Copies of this chain bind each other. A is one copy, B any other.
Amino acid sequence: MSEAHEPRRTWALLLEYDGTGISGWQRQSTPERPGPVSFQALLEAAAAHLARGAHVPVTAAGRTDAGVHAAGQVAMLTLPDRYRADQLREALNFHLRPYPFVVLHAAPAPTGWNPRFSARARAYEYRILNRRPRPAMERRVWHVERKLDLDAMREGASHLLGHHDFTSFRAASCQAKSPVRTLDRLEVSREGELVVLRVEARSFLHHQVRNMAGTLVLVGEGKWRPAQVARALEARTRAAAGPTAPPDGLTLIRVEYDPDPFTPIPAPTVAG
């Protein structure tokens, strides 16, 4: 049987990575023009080892920026149908060494499924180390020295919840057609010396979480009153909102699908 007719299989992959020092998800290199290390390029290079060196394109739920981490990024690729799910995970992880990047789970992709367009919700965490000394143990944080007022941050956050035009919180580089998004969750909690923002939406604009974090920190530091967040949102111009928080504190926690490719379909129960 020629390679062209070899059966192929499309896989959903659950991925974990530490973005420190990596240029982000998206490949910026080509065979002709090598670029900085990206998770997409690393995974495509690992997959090529399983496809007799052929290029294997990989798509993901979201293109995380340089320095951003993932505990549950989701990607898709198609390979010759020669592997069981656990063999595929192990083989990819073998080739991803020694990068801080692993496949947590591999499962056959449902028919018609796409990691980006089938996503029903995305959950991010933004972690702030809120103390005077710089971090020695934690890398995946934004270090903010001034003691944050969480009540004020929560009041500011309440203005962002729901269905809004988020133009003020959108990067100039954002390619989305519409600036309108529905923010389903934006919680602020203190966990020891950390202040953690937990956000959820079906999808986000480029830099939206980091721009919301940078703005809420202005409120927490007392430089902005909480009501200014509402005014920034209404202004519909990037200049009206606060600065973009650094990528270090941001982690893509979870992408939700229905059905979830990583949840095995339960065997049918026999009516008793």
Q: Which residues of A contact B (CB under 8 A)?
A: 16-18, 69, 71, 89, 93, 97, 99-104, 131-137, 140
> Are B103 and A133 within 8 A (Cβ)?
yes
Minimal beta-carbon separation of A206 from chain B (angstroms)? 23
Residues of B within 8 A of A104 (CB): 131, 133
Q: Which residues of B contact A93 (CB under 8 A)?
A: 133-134
Specify the chain B residue showing the minimal Cβ separation from A90.
B132
Q: List 26 A-B contacts (CB under 8 A).
A: A16-B133, A16-B136, A16-B137, A17-B136, A17-B137, A18-B136, A18-B137, A69-B137, A71-B137, A89-B132, A89-B133, A93-B133, A93-B134, A97-B134, A99-B136, A100-B136, A100-B137, A101-B136, A102-B133, A102-B134, A102-B135, A102-B136, A103-B133, A104-B131, A104-B133, A137-B140
Q: Which residues of B contact A103 (CB under 8 A)?
A: 133
Residue of B nearest to A69 (CB): B137
Contacts of A132 in B (CB 8 A): 89
Collect the chain B residues with CB atoms within 8 Å of residue A140's CB. Answer: 137
Count of chain copies? 2
A132 to B88, CA, bound (A): 13
Most buried by B among A18, A132, A133, A140: A133
Whole-angstrom distance between the alpha carbons of A106 and B137 in the complex?
A: 19
What separation, in Å, do the CA atoms of A81 and B118 have in the docked complex? Answer: 65
In the complex formed, the residue of B with least CB distance to A16 is: B136
Chain B residue at minimum C-beta to C-beta distance from A99: B136
Chain B proximity of A210: nearest CB distance (Å):
19
Q: Quick one: closest B residue to A104, CB to CB?
A: B133
- A16-B133, A99-B136 known; 11 new pairs, CB 8 Å cut-off, are A17-B137, A18-B136, A18-B137, A71-B137, A89-B132, A89-B133, A101-B136, A102-B134, A102-B136, A104-B131, A137-B140
